[in-house]
Structure 1
């Protein structure tokens, strides 16, 4: 109950209709309990007295009661359908909005299939819970109480016989509830894992087909399916066992009441009509009693779905406003002289790393002057991508300080920070939208056709005019209808369309051929003249875009200088730029030889 009560803020706006629906459903169930009383009157009156007219009148009364019951239940359904669809929509909307604001570290840890299952299957389960089990636990409970009162009023001795299974049923239901909760949670988690397998197989279908891995993927899917099937069968066994107990115990009590009632009728202590009414009322209570088992099961599944939902919602999201780290120096004057991008003694380790593990970045001190383009070069795994992710606060620094024109980035609202800094990643991500919409996503909203065309020209993305609908062409999921180079050029256009003050690019030209790369670099030089840029580079051609180069080695800045200076003075840099097989210090060519080879 504590878990399910967390849904109350979403239910509160529609509580009037839901409470009305519960009252209407209780009224409908109680109307059904009038039928045994009419039967008693028919048996003891018209039937016993041989009055056909009275029998027809009783039949019409029964028909009217049945129609009233059906209308009331239909009205209840109408009352809850629209409000609960709205509740589900608000839950899903809040989940989606919250997921968008969660740190990148959260998405690194969580499988996307688990998030998908929480936003679809779990929320559908909650809507069904609010529409049916929640209502009918109250309705059936009220019906059982009213029905037992009617039974005790008709013949208290028979009523006491029917009350005998109450305590055993409570004990069995309590035991069932705790066991079913564990199995239900396991099933919903396994369904999320299965969703992840399906999603990865769909997104990676080209890799699967290209390497002929469809059988291994089918085996992985089959294994997940078998695990889920085993858990679902365990749920079914638990539900079957509780159902058997809930059905058998009341049936035994009903049989005992029937035998005792027949004896009383034979002795003349009870009228036949009263026995008929009693048995009819008891049979009318069979469904409310028998439904307890699966209603409890659905409540447990809803509670599990609620816990899974709030596991995501309770995760702290990125703050909207400034949240400077304790001890951080105050920000500079945004209207003062431009200072560019500075890293001051920056330390970074991933949030889920052990506290005593070595940091990815350790003591980074780097200054990218205003209007300067700096290339960031380093071996694979040296921390280049991690460093670029710190600037827009996709990850948070563990220690140290990063400033933009003298302002600490932690003192800036995230929206403002990310409006100043544009990004171009090595892996270009496009969305199921038009080419124009994907590119203009990099602007704040004031950009139009002119800015779009300028950005496409810089990225040498003239191919869009050859697409079926030009910039209005839908690129499809992940942009997979385009080549790798085309996707990368659109991602680069998205980065420059807003004319950002700061530009961070992670090897943005890696998928381009040499001729297109040369054209893009020529256009980029014009754009970079008025921009402070940090560019991760792996090739000399990209490095030549930069005014200076920083060498990142072992999580530290090992050297800073121009391309030619580092070629002459730093063996590691010369080796990285040369593409030689042997790194410096292993018997390969020295810095002078490497520099000559690279300059040629």
Structure 2
């Protein structure tokens, strides 16, 4: 299960961030406009030292109050213009970047729906959640600020250095002295910070997983009095994350120590040298004021380098994490070629072998050469000991897992030749563990089916209890449907399976949570549904087995016997043992 996936492989932040281009391209005009506006605002700030030079060497030296007031007015207008331009930049980027974030989040969610179950089996939900929330927030922050200001600050520094060199080339060289150490520091910082940023984001995903599991499993935690141990585990992860964040802070402090201290020393040296030149008459006071004012105006563009690089590395790491998921191959990307015989109707397994993708190659398969034919309109019960592979076999029909070899056909057509949308419109599934969503009863059952099917499905599943709920089928069942009993949730899951009147029905022990009387009522109604469909039913109780026309015995991943319930009771010792262990033989049914 991927949780902390930070690697030490060589990376390029620029190459990683360039993968955002398809999302940025539709809004590139607004972003370029915002960058141009920000450059104008910065250039307006660099004009201020030139106005100061004119004021000091002109109106101040000549004791001209009118000139001083005129210069002050120019400074005020430049300051207002700079503020308005930066406000305009913010307005230009706000709407398009919120659109980029929304598009990326929607694409991620849609992609997750198309990824195979094997992917979700490997990945912790908290890791996926953190990619859809925290990581995309970091990407938006990068597009809103560092992406623009890395360019703006570079242009500002370049223009400012040119202005200072034109004022006095000797002082300009003094200011440029720290450039090489600052550049080396930035390169070293970029390499180290990326890995720490990636580690922190993975740890946020781990922490999110713990919180989510604790909330969903709160009844178990409280029931077993494990709240203290859970709290300790959470605190341990929090301390680990805190340590990583402190490493980030130390790296950021180190680069700031260099890029703040060295330029300050250079400005101090330029001040001393310039003061000597003014005293000797080699430099005007206005030129020195303009030079130092320009140098001070460049302090923010230089000081912010560490901050901008840190956000950029965070965003590069977040982008890498985002595309780790987006690069996973979705289910619909693998479609086979139909080579079946349409006359071979019903549901057929031909030499099906299944091994989990992450299982060692030399391990025995979960399912081994399964051959089974369920004729049209026939219902087949699947019986076997715990761990024999029953649930795995049923998951292959709607392609929740892919067969390792062999094939499965529906009415003669290989299921790999169908799109999953088409396949799952033909096959309905009810799982042993019913899953309900934070929605109304009706929405949980229908799942997009026609409204008119709801009452019939509820009747088949003996789920008439919904009409006694406060708002009937519009009642919200709450997260995971835990406001309902286990039997009620299972009946709603069964109603969901039959609501669309599917041609093929796969039921994984659908009556396990029902009491005897409710089970009998559901079985009576379910027989009418089974008469109109082709069904595969995982069964543990003889009462459920008797719903089916025939029974298949699955033993250690192989189909070892097929026949009616009574035939297998007489001829197969393993089957008789399984049925006897379930509490009844069913001979009287």
What TM-score, normalized to structure 1?
A: 0.94
For residues 23-422 of structure 1, the aligned pairs below 5 Å read 23-319=36-332, 322-324=335-337, 330-333=339-342, 336=343, 339-422=345-428
**Does the 8 A contact of 1:424 with 1:495 survive in 2?**
yes
Q: Deviations over 1:351-379 (max 9, x none)?
A: 11111110000011111111111110001
CA apart distance, 1:323: 2.1
**Does the 8 A contact of 1:320 with 1:415 survive in 2?**
no
Segments ≥4 residues shifted beyond 6 Å: none
2:3 corresponding residue in structure 1: none
Runs of at least 5 residues in structure 2 that lack an aligned partner in the other structure: 1-13
CA apart distance, 1:448: 2.0
Is 1:22 equivalent to 2:35 in the alignment? yes
Is 1:508 equivalent to 2:510 in the alignment? yes
**Does the 8 A contact of 1:321 with 1:412 survive in 2?**
no
Is 1:430 equivalent to 2:436 in the alignment? yes
SS of residue matched to 1:533? strand
**Does the 8 A contact of 1:540 with 1:577 survive in 2?**
yes
Compared CA separation, residues 546 and 420, structure 1 to 2 (3 A): same
**Does the 8 A contact of 1:438 with 1:494 survive in 2?**
yes
**Does the 8 A contact of 2:350 with 2:407 survive in 1?**
yes
**Does the 8 A contact of 2:277 with 2:283 survive in 1?**
yes
Q: C-alpha distance in 1, partners of 2:70/2:543?
A: 98
RMSD: 1.4
Q: C-alpha distance in 1, partners of 2:287/2:426?
A: 83
Q: C-alpha distance in 2, partners of 1:166/1:323?
A: 60
Q: Deviations over 1:199-257 (max 9, x none)?
A: 00011111111111111111111111011000000000000011001101111111111
For residues 4-19 of structure 1, the aligned pairs below 5 Å read 4-19=17-32
Q: C-alpha distance in 1, partners of 2:231/2:587?
A: 48
Q: C-alpha distance in 2, partners of 1:217/1:323?
A: 46
Q: C-alpha distance in 1, partners of 2:430/2:399?
A: 15
What is the total number of aligned residue pairs between the two structures?
Answer: 576
1:586 corresponding residue in structure 2: none
Q: C-alpha distance in 2, partners of 1:120/1:18?
A: 23
CA apart distance, 1:599: 5.5
What TM-score, normalized to structure 2?
A: 0.96
CA apart distance, 1:564: 1.0
CA apart distance, 1:339: 2.1
Q: C-alpha distance in 1, partners of 2:492/2:576?
A: 32
